[in-house]
Structure 1
């Protein structure tokens, strides 16, 4: 697995946050490197609801967040008895405990729910965030350590649709990005992990028109030239902030020069070799930005912008200077981050449903999950689809698959599936 010695370089790299977290853990929705990649391990290539399935479990409600894994525990956020909830399961799919918080606020869109934001853990606490503004930390036994409501504190949600951004961790704090339309404020805020007290909060009002001011993307925490930094995509700009105090270090924009009113953003940025990759414009543009500088670095630090190959919802995976992208309609390819050159491209079969889940690269295999829970496996060396896997009828998925210890966790709206692994368990209904 990726080790700290590999990450220490002149380039930006995702931060390794806690000695309690080990390489096999999946502590946030984008995986151990916060980049949608994992070392190859021994992960299944072919499966179905009858073959190579270790276990499955029905969930209390329909939801779209990605599970996280810490040691022998799996954490899944969802609505429980009409309240914001968190389930803790063991690696055999048995529920160890469940906890509820405030009243759940139902989703508006068919792809959304009260708990689309994914949990995150530092190895000691699990942090959760919900559509109604509830924001909390729980210990590993399910006890609420602290809880607050950000909409009560800072202003009610003015998103047209449903909260999607997930909390992220810095060395000391847990950070929330809120990008929405006036009159409620848009901001980036950091809270002490142990107490939930506000450490800093900065405005992020960038003048994007109407719905373009709204974002569902998740920031990326990284280290660049010895400084912990937070990169945020949304409201027509990419901004980079000091993790210590939230100060804006640099910005790129506008990514919406024609001032289109409806360029809300969903896909998040990803970083490789000190280059930020930013999908935008409802999947019409993909922009590469070299980190560094100060102030507005649009003219000096934008490496390239593609207008023919990007994504609206899926966040790309990236590693070693290569970007692995899946469009919403299932075009899949690899791009050189430095030059923007398309290295290869393949297409999944045409289908009425799209791809909302983000791709995961495990070694030389790229896993892509369509909204009906059909997973395509692409061999990136041979540049071809080598497997197509289905999981029952009437499934729907927007969450990202989780890869850990030879097992793949796939969370649909209604079920959590565990693929592969050495032990075969009785399937739970």
Structure 2
């Protein structure tokens, strides 16, 4: 006992010294965070004033290309300032937490050593000791109070800079829209590593095995690993079919076409139309409830959904004449919340595009309601997946693989990707995802004998076996609330998000980034990969074509209005709808060649659908059929 007491007494100076160092360290971190908050409120950390000054100068001289480039560079600096601040606040918080923990441990051991043996004191000395104990108590309370205040100001710092960053970024975007009066694209010299130039080839006839012509390069995928916390999964086997199937490719069954990869397989699509004069407008029909989802097509039927805070509906139109065949009201679903969640104006209550397998139509809404109806509008099954824990409701679109309805259900907590039975709605498999909120949609591709579901959400791009839900590979490479879906071509996955980066990923057991770029990023439209080309569309109106192999920019083009709709590749051409309802059609080549600019006559944020030589577009209020 005495030996132990002596040892503890011997260590008292050590623990006291550690406590002093840890306390001093924590105090310095606190002061740095507080000073940082004051500095951010006194000095503009993202140079918003500088950007505004450049905007004013550019308004006076809109043809100044050098000034325009300065604004682009300033936008990049704004991004760097934001992410640097994020890192500083996060690092400061961890350092402060570490310092407080060390301080608490050192103080505990120090005072434990001093109380090993009882001591007898005179009354005056006892009063002094009680005073010291009270003083220490208030010092500790005050210290933790300072720590709490510091963390509060750290949050305010992060929020304040985030607001300033958003303002600066928005200013840069608006500036880009204001000055797009001249073509600024130029062809970039191809580097030596670029693959040989390919000539555009017509998409093969569906009856002539399109899949074989467009088959991706083979990739080695990892051996199966157990998915933690997921339901038991069946043994993965090689997929002997072809995806997407000929039948899917002959139709337009989901958001961005068959498999969700942004490629349509139709031909003889018109380039020119005019909503005002009615040129090439075959029919126009109103949609009862406005929404942002895009048309899907199977056979002679076209499907949409609409929703507001009180109603959710599915619509079926006769594709050739535009007659509204039936409407299904989505109501009285078990587990559905009494009130709809709050959503943002950019998403609404029915942002998710439907999907169909030709036998049933599947829809999902912002509140987590998912429903299946047959092709005649008869309800087959419905369920609620749980109200999404995010700030805009569920927004990811649906896909079908064989008898499975694939749902990407990313949210703040308990995110997952799941497969529901198309016949019953029962869960076939479900795989947990440690990701943050996203509104990106899944993409399904066939690769090396497997069919993979590709998903993107902060912090990772990941692949799952469509048959079993098994996670095949994952790579942490993306940040923010991810909106764009991925693109896939020739064994390479492309992912991006605004204020993050554009990455080209080689999938496999050890996935790796082939190249990374920061020039053009998207927060809404999804990219398209075609042959050795990658097309990026931004919401503020810029479009860029990259070499998909090396990451070099072939061309860049700016337009008068921004884009929310995703581009679709069809018959060697890209159809891109801007927010004013103008379709920009250009060749999918390494040089920018505009084919037509056709106005719908009303605003639109929906991606087009294609079938039988016709284009189908959802406007702000109406549905259009365009043909020759």
TM-score (norm 2): 0.59
| Partner deviation per Cα, 1:285-325 (whole Å, 9 max, x = no partner) | 1111112115xx3xxx2111111122111001222232122
| Distance (Å, rounded) in 2 between the aligned partners of 1:33 and 1:369 | 20
* Unaligned runs of at least 5 residues, structure 1: 207-212, 257-262, 422-429
Does residue 456 of structure 2 align to residue 239 of structure 1?
no
Query: Once structures 1 and 2 are overlaid, which stretch shifts more, 9-18 or 110-119?
Result: 9-18
Task: Give 1:169's match in structure 2, choosing from 397, 400, 407.
Answer: 400
Residues 352-409 of structure 1 show CA distances to partners (whole Å, capped at 9, x for unaligned) of: xx210001122332221111211112234561333222222xx332210112211111
CA contact (8 A) 1:17 1:169 kept: no
1:302 aligns with 2:529: no
What secondary structure does 1:166 align onto? coil
Change (3 A) 1:27 1:284: same
Q: Distance in 1 between matches of 2:243 and 2:623?
A: 27
| CA 1:80–1:142: 2 relative to 1, 3 Å | farther
Secondary structure (helix, strand or coil) at the match of 2:330 reads: strand
Distance 1:219 1:180 in 2: 15
Partner of residue 384, structure 1: 593
Q: 2:380 aligns with which of 112, 128, 145?
A: 145
Residue pair 2:354, 2:398 contacting (<8 A) in 1 also: yes
Structure 1 contact 40–364 (Cα < 8 Å) conserved: no
Residue among 529, 534, 550 paired with 1:318: 529
2:264 paired residue among 38, 50, 59: 38
User: Partners of 1:81 and 1:94 in 2: how far apart?
Assistant: 26
Instruction: Give the one of 496, 501, 508 matched to 1:279.
Output: 496
State the alpha-carbon separation in 2 of the partners of residues 65 and 15 from structure 1. Answer: 27
Equivalent residue of 1:23, what SS?
A: helix
Aligned partner (choices 279, 285, 299) of residue 57 of structure 1:
285
Structure 1 residue 81 displacement after superposition: 10
Q: Using the alignment, how far apart are the partners of 2:242 and 2:485 within structure 1? A: 17
Structure 2 gaps of 5+ residues are 1-204, 220-238, 333-338
Matching of residue 47 in structure 1 with residue 273 in structure 2:
yes
Instruction: Determine if the alignment matches structure 1 residue 93 to structure 2 residue 328.
Output: no
Pair 338,199 (structure 1): closer, same or farther in 2 beyond 3 Å: same
Which residues in structure 2 correspond to 1:7-156 (within 5 Å)?
A: 7-11=214-218, 16=243, 21-32=247-258, 34-39=260-265, 41-49=267-275, 50-79=278-307, 82-91=310-319, 92-102=321-331, 105=340, 108-151=343-386, 156=387
Q: 2:558 maps to what in 1?
A: 347
Equivalent residue for 1:260? none
Task: Indicate the SS of the match to 2:250.
Answer: coil
1:189 aligns with 2:418: yes
Counterpart-to-counterpart distance in 2, 1:237 and 1:15: 27
Give the corresponding residue for 1:259.
none
Determine if contact 1:284/1:311 at 8 Å carries over to the other structure.
Answer: no
Shift of 1:33: 5.4
Counting strand residues as a fraction of each chain, which structure ranks higher?
1
Shift of 1:283: 5.1
Structure 1 77/224 Cα, relative in aligned 2: closer, same or farther at 3 Å? Answer: same
| Closer, same or farther: CA 41–283 of 1 in aligned 2, 3 Å | farther
Instruction: Give the Å deviation of 1:80.
Output: 8.4
Greater percentage in helix: 2
Q: CA deviation at 1:109?
A: 2.1
Alpha carbons of structure 1 residues 250 and 275: separation in structure 2 relative to 1, 3 Å: same
Residue in 2 aligned with 1:269? 486
Q: Which residue of 2 aligns with 1:205?
A: 434
Tell me the distance in 2 between the aligned counterparts of 1:380 and 1:241.
Answer: 30
- The structural deviation recorded for 1:222 is 1.6
Q: Is residue 605 of structure 2 the alignment partner of residue 370 of structure 1?
A: no
- Greater shift, 240-249 or 309-318, is seen at 240-249
Which deviates further from its counterpart, 84-93 or 357-366?
A: 357-366
Contact kept, 8 Å, 1:15 with 1:222, in 2: the verdict is no
Once the two structures are TM-superposed, the CA of residue 284 in structure 1 deviates from its matched residue by 4.2
TM-score, normalised to structure 1, is 0.85
Equivalent-residue separation in structure 1 for 2:274 and 2:499 (angstroms):
31
Which of the pair has the greater relative contact order for Cα pairs under 8 Å at 6+ separation? 1
1:106 Cα deviation from its structure 2 partner: 7.2
Equivalence for 1:359: 567
Q: Using the TM superposition, give the Cα deviation of residue 180 of structure 1 relative to its aligned residue in structure 2, in angstroms.
A: 1.3
Larger Cα-atom Rg: 2
RMSD: 2.3
Alignment of 1:218-237 (within 5 A): 218-237=441-460
| Deviation per residue, 1:151-179 (Å, 9 max, x gap) | 1xxxx322112421011222331111111
Q: Do the aligned partners of residues 23 and 39 (structure 1) sit closer, same or farther apart at CA in structure 2, a change above 3 Å counting? A: closer
Give the drift of 1:32: 3.1
Contact 2:211–2:242 under 8 Å retained in 1: no
